[in-house]
Structure 1
Amino acid sequence: MSATRRDFVIGAAALAAVPVSAGAAGRRRRVGVVGGGIIGASVAFQLARAGAEVILFEREAPAARATRASVAWINPVVNDAAYMRLRLESMRAWREDDRALGMNAIWGGSISWAYPDKEEALRAKAAVLQHTDDPPRALTSRQITEVSRGIHAGDDVAFAFETRRDGHVDPVQATRRYLAAAKKLGARILYPCEVEGIVVASGRMTHVETSRGRWALDDIVSVAGVDTPRIMAMMDRTLELAHKPGLVVHTEARPVVTDKVFEASSVIEFKQYADGRFLTSLTGGPPELPVHAAIRQQRAAFPDDELRRRHGQMLIDQTATYLPAMAGTRPAQVLLGFRPYPLDNRPICGPVPGVEGAYLVVTHSGLTLAPILGRYVAQEIMEKTPAALLTPYRPSRFMKV
């Protein structure tokens, strides 16, 4: 069953629990959520709305890892029509959650451009978008500046387009909004609380062992990001993720000059928050230099603060060539993020093969997909009704019993 418009409308009833499914002896179903990023927070909220007794286990603090280092661009743009439908459903759900929970999303649209070496890929994305209710509007380099004053993409732009319904958000604030709403519905949010073991008996998950004790559960949902392989190994399941580091820099505040998200030839993404902070991201990870060897091979920190600062300033200076209002700003935060990245760059969402009561969610673009995945996970666990749009993304394509 796919979600309908009615499923998305939560409005004034956003915090009303709707008991749907019970655990043993008629009690409320107890569901553990592993991971306090934005998807885990959305899942916890929707499960609590559906009547579950929710316990969320977060290793560090909410939004401490990939969520914190996200560009937080809410968009449908991907060169895959089926995947784009899922993202479009989530964008509709985002607007509902924004209104109901006060996410303070900025719906200013986006502009993407490509230089000759990336032109073909961007045109392919635009072609898929033509079949949506927000078809892209092609722009020349001069028109980019006319649409968004202060942006200078350069004379060698080969192709560019604007979409008008994209948005962006502060991912840490949005995560906290979801968790606050979940807590109002009775969810327990435990952090720091590391999952140290998962007990499986006769093919069913029964307990989770944590740094804060042992918990009996009816279901467990792993939304652990890059920590997912470790969580799966506790249930004797193997899952490999791609290693995808990315650099995100937040600057000090300046007067607000734009409400859009910009993508410069699939290399840099940047935006400005309502409070004046700029965010810019080097999406492709660090260049192949000896100093970056550890970061390119594994999850590792910058070797020293000076290298971190220099990377932050370098990215600000590079972005300022497109957005001169950024010139002279200093990095307030320089974040090295490691994105949860399935090997085929498509979501993994569904029951863990061979382990009853275990459910897995791991994906890139978690910020865009968080609202719809929260709804669908709650639907599949509490109603036992499959979500049709998740059919291509089941864990069984990577995990075998």
Structure 2
Amino acid sequence: MVHVAVVGAGIIGAALADALVRRGATVTVIDASEPGSGTSGSSLAWLNANQKLPRDYHDFSVRAMAEWRSLGDHSWYAPTGSLATGAGDRLDRLREWGYPVEELTTARAAELEPALSVAATAFFPSEAFVYGNEAVEALLRRASVRPLVTGGDVAFDVRGSRVSAVRLPDGARLRADLYVSCAGARTPALLEPVGVTVPLDAGPAAPCLVTRAYGTVPVRRVVNTPSLSLRPVRNGVQLEAGDLDTSPDGVATLLDRARELIRGFTPASTRHRVCVRPLPADGHPIADRLPGLDNAYVTVTHSGMTLGPLLGRLVATELVDATVLDDLKPYRLSRF
């Protein structure tokens, strides 16, 4: 039975662990913090193929949405569709590609989201969102994997053309047959010391100000506007703006936008953080064996929530069966 060490307990690592166990592998998941406490637990967690280009990446994302549906009905999976304003530039293309789209009248928009003061113009009924940390925990629980929480960053030890161990912060070594980096935004820091460059964009597209406003549940689904994105969280709403930071001015601007968009927005409490999403330089996923290392693999992507279960299943197949899948060929490191 092959033993796989997975570094990263976000949605990619959890989905991969689940898929590996279902293929008969033994899995150890390692993370500096609790499962789902990083990007996966703070992102919009919007499952979609709405703005994915080119066509093959769009189709891959549609398959990933179906992969989520195949997991069944769960309290952390919300197949509510999503709403958008200002989406007219892509509606014709999405229709042509067979993607469900409904253009909304003002009355229909108010029926779908009565708390919005600005009428949405498009509804995407096949889309969904998940409660990210709950989804991560559920996948790990299904796999019967309890992650090893290290409290600090780990490193790969390399001997010749193979990774020999994961070096833990206390100096201990964890050994396995195969090693997978699912470290998200920390991927370059993990892999550069072993001579592998993974090009992530550290520019303004990756960080995003996230506010969770509790004591009010004014929306039912993901809503995207040019200045603000939002979705439900437990007992509240999550607000996101990629052009703002956690400074007092940034937070105040975000809350002002929410008051303009949502009628009666008066949260009892708020919590703010920056969500740093890993963003490969061309915006597309990376899934590949590490060059020069026979027993190591990396997968990292911007749309981790949408793609997680599909990527997990495909990568698990490549690892356990020692095969190369056509599905993943567009996402190799060699394209850079």
Q: How many residues align?
A: 331
**Post-superposition shift, 1:137?**
1.5
Does residue 189 (structure 1) correspond to residue 180 (structure 2)? The answer is no
Offset of residue 396 of structure 1: 1.8
> Of the candidates 249, 256, 262, which is equivalent to residue 211 of structure 2?
249
Question: What amino acid sits opposite 1:321 in the alignment?
Answer: E
Give the counterpart letter for 1:342 in structure 2.
P
Which residue of 2 is the match for residue 6 of structure 1? Answer: none
Letter in 1 for 2:115: G
Residue of structure 2 equivalent to 1:51 = 24
- Gaps in structure 1 of 5+ consecutive residues: 1-27, 115-121, 287-291, 293-301
CA drift of 1:313 comes to: 4.7
Amino acid at match of 2:315: V
Distance in 1, matches of 2:75 and 2:326, equals: 27
TM-superposition CA deviations, 1:111-150 (whole Å, max 9, x none): 1111xxxxxxx34432342145542122355542344323
Map of 2:70 onto structure 1: 96
* One of 142, 150, 164 as aligned partner of 2:115: 150
- 1:220 aligned partner, one-letter code: Y
**214-223 or 236-245: bigger deviation:** 236-245
Match for 1:129: what amino acid? L
Instruction: Please list, as runs of the form range in 1=range in 2, the aligned pairs for 1:379-390 lying within 5 A after superposition.
Output: 379-390=317-328
Larger radius of gyration: 1
State the distance in 2 between where 1:189 and 1:317 align.
39
Q: What does residue 271 of structure 1 align with?
A: 231
| Residue correspondence of structure 1 range 260-339 to structure 2 within 5 A | 260-265=221-226, 267-273=227-233, 275-282=234-241, 284-286=242-244, 307=247, 311-325=250-264, 327-339=265-277
Match of 1:108 among 70, 77, 80: 80
CA contact (8 A) 1:352 1:396 kept: no
Q: Is the 2:15–2:312 contact (alpha carbons within 8 Å) kept by the matching residues of 1?
A: yes
Once the two structures are TM-superposed, the CA of residue 91 in structure 1 deviates from its matched residue by 0.9
Q: In the alignment, is residue 234 of structure 1 matched against residue 201 of structure 2?
A: no
Equivalent position to 2:50, from 68, 71, 77: 77
2:163 to 187, 205, 211: 205
CA deviations 1:261-283 (Å, max 9, x no partner) are: 11002x3111224x43111111x
Q: Does the aligned pair in 1 maintain the 2:19–2:312 contact within 8 Å?
A: yes
Give 1:60 deviation, angstroms.
1.8
Structure 1 position 362, deviation (Å):
0.9
Gaps of 5+ in 2: none
Residue 366 (str. 1) matches residue 304 (str. 2): yes
Shift of 1:337: 1.1
SS in 2 for 1:90: helix
Cα distance in 1 for residues equivalent to 2:273 and 2:168 = 28
CA distance in structure 1 between the aligned counterparts of 2:146 and 2:132, rounded to whole angstroms: 21
8 Å contact kept, 1:39–1:371:
yes
2:140 equivalent in structure 1:
179
* RMSD of aligned residue pairs (Cα, Å): 2.2
1:221 aligns with 2:177: no
**What is the SS of the residue equivalent to 2:17?**
helix
Query: 1:229 offset after TM fit, Å?
Result: 0.3
Distance 1:214 1:195, change over 3 A: farther
Deviation at 1:371, TM superposition (A): 1.0
Distance in structure 2 (CA, Å) of the matches to 1:82 and 1:63: 29
Q: Which residue of 2 aligns with 1:165?
A: 126
1: CA distance between counterparts of 2:133 and 2:78?
15
Find out whether 1:38 has 2:19 as its counterpart. Answer: no
Q: Is the 8 A contact 1:109 1:167 kept in 2?
A: yes
Q: Residue 246 and residue 391 in structure 1: after superposition, are their counterparts in 2 closer, same or farther (change >3 A)?
A: same
Q: CA deviation at 1:35?
A: 0.6
- Shift, 1:324, TM fit: 0.8
Of the three residues 86, 91, 104, the one matched with 1:139 is 104
- CA drift of 1:234 comes to 2.8
SS of structure 2 residue aligned to 1:321: helix
**CA positional deviation for 1:344:** 0.9
Supply the distance in 2 between the matched residues of 1:177 and 1:316 (Cα, whole angstroms): 32
Give SS of 1:205's match: strand
* Equivalent-residue separation in structure 2 for 1:49 and 1:227 (angstroms): 27
The offset of 1:364, in angstroms, is 0.6
> Given that residues 57 and 194 in structure 1 are in contact (C-alpha distance below 8 angstroms), is that contact kept between their aligned partners in structure 2?
no
CA distance in 1, matches of 2:5, 2:146: 10
Structure 2 SS opposite 1:67:
helix
From the superposition, tell whether residues 281 and 50 of structure 1 become closer, same or farther in structure 2 (CA, over 3 Å). same
For 2:243 and 2:9, the matched residues in 1 are separated by: 24
- Corresponding letter in the other structure for 2:193: M
Q: Would the alpha carbon gap of residues 269 and 380 (structure 1) be closer, same or farther in structure 2, given more than 3 Å must change?
A: same
Secondary structure of 2:71's counterpart equals helix
